[in-house]
Amino acid sequence: MLLFDLTTRHGARPSPFCWRAKLALKHKGLLHDEKACHYSDIRSIGDGSFRTVPVMQDGGVFVGGSLNIAEYLEKTYPDTPTLFPDDPHHRYAKFVEAWVDTSLQPQIFHTLAYDIFLLMPDAEQPYFRKTREARLGMTLEEARDLAPSKLPAAQASFLPLRRRLQEQPFLCGDAPAYADYIAYGALKWQRLCCDRELLSDAADPIHAWFSHIDGLATAHAPTGS
Ligand SMILES: N[C@@H](CCC(=O)N[C@@H](CS)C(=O)NCC(=O)O)C(=O)O
């Protein structure tokens, strides 16, 4: 099994969506290799139809999109631990994905866009600038200058997660599963791209939640380049 993962100029792997897929594979105990790629490499994966990573190759099958990958693994490897406990139709995971994709990650992105730009290799920077400036509606330098003022909104976007973790250790209950990995990917991305601490309260339950999942993520690092 091979996972195509986005890389930076120094080989960091910050993509929040790729973290979701990596955790899904670990959760199921499925060994995989990783193939690092840049934005400009994505169109050469598989039949050339993919526009984003993660993409997973399982033998001759290519699957793109983090939730598609999780759903493929769930269906194809039914004897491995479930990614969707008590959520057979994945409705809860889809709601968490919608919250993370439309609120948490976009709010974080406002604070992080320029940091990500600096992490990209020179050859990838023009593409990143063009596409992300269109998304932000401002230049990356304007986003950098506004980043401190955007921090409170990014911090506030963690509230739904914090509220659930005050009641139970993981979004999925007593143990983490796919919905947790979706939210984890956002914070992992932020922490890999910059040193600014978003969660300043040491008693925040998000810290213990993150550390636990991070331990799973970094155990048994895959091979590959
Ligand atoms: N809905 C997709 C989104 C994946 C995505 O946006 N990945 C980014 C990397 S973090 C990407 O590949 N972007 C390609 C580009 O901007 O050209 C998923 O869940 O996998």
Amino acid sitting at position 51: R
Pick the residue whose CA is nearest to atom 13 on ligand 1: 52
pLDDT reading at 218 higher than 90: no
| Average pLDDT of the segment spanning 72-94 | 97
- pLDDT tens digit sequence for 14-72: 999 999 999 999 999 999 999 999 999 999 999 999 999 999 999 999 999 999 999 99
Q: What is the mean pLDDT of the chain?
A: 96
Comparing C-alpha atoms, which of 7, 3, 2, 1 is closest to residue 192? 7
Q: How far does the centroid of ligand 1 lie from the alpha carbon of residue 17, in Å?
A: 7
Site to probe by mutation for ligand 1, drawn from 35, 52, 67, 182 as the one with most ligand atoms within 8 Å of Cβ, is: 52
Q: How far does the centroid of ligand 1 lie from the alpha carbon of residue 189, in Å?
A: 13
Polymer length of the chain: 225
Work out which ligand 1 atom sits closest to the CA atom of 15. 10
Amino acid sitting at position 68: N
pLDDT value of position 221: 58
Q: How far does the centroid of ligand 1 lie from the alpha carbon of residue 167, in Å?
A: 32
Judge contact between 53 and 5, C-beta under 8 A: yes
Confidence of residue 219 (pLDDT cuts 50, 70, 90): confident
Q: How far does the centroid of ligand 1 lie from the alpha carbon of residue 201, in Å?
A: 31
- pLDDT tens digit sequence for 172-188: 999 999 999 999 999 99
Confidence of residue 75 (pLDDT cuts 50, 70, 90): very high
Enumerate the H helices of the chain as residue ranges.
16-27, 66-76, 91-99, 105-119, 125-136, 140-156, 159-165, 178-193, 205-218
pLDDT value of position 89: 95
pLDDT value of position 194: 95
pTM of the shown model: 0.97
Judge contact between 21 and 76, C-beta under 8 A: no
Work out which ligand 1 atom sits closest to the CA atom of 189. 10
Angstrom distance (rounded) from CA 173 to CA 85: 9
Angstrom distance (rounded) from CA 208 to CA 198: 15
Q: How far does the centroid of ligand 1 lie from the alpha carbon of residue 32, in Å?
A: 20
Comparing C-alpha atoms, which of 160, 171, 185, 173 is closest to residue 67? 185
Angstrom distance (rounded) from CA 20 to CA 3: 11
Separation of first and last alpha carbons in the chain? 14
Whole-angstrom CA distances from 8 to 43, 120, 128, 219 are 17, 5, 12, 21
Pick the residue whose CA is nearest to atom 5 on ligand 1: 52
Angstrom distance (rounded) from CA 225 to CA 222: 10
pLDDT reading at 107 higher than 80: yes
pLDDT reading at 223 higher than 80: no
Comparing C-alpha atoms, which of 75, 1, 28 is closest to residue 177? 28
pLDDT value of position 224: 53
pLDDT value of position 222: 56
C-alpha dihedral sign at 140, 145, 150, 155: positive
Q: How far does the centroid of ligand 1 lie from the alpha carbon of residue 54, in Å?
A: 7
Using CB distances shorter than 6 Å, the residues near ligand 1 are: 6, 15, 17, 39, 42, 52-54, 65-67, 131
Work out which ligand 1 atom sits closest to the CA atom of 65. 20
Pick the residue whose CA is nearest to atom 20 on ligand 1: 65
Work out which ligand 1 atom sits closest to the CA atom of 6. 9
pLDDT value of position 128: 98
Residue 217 tokens read as: 């993520």
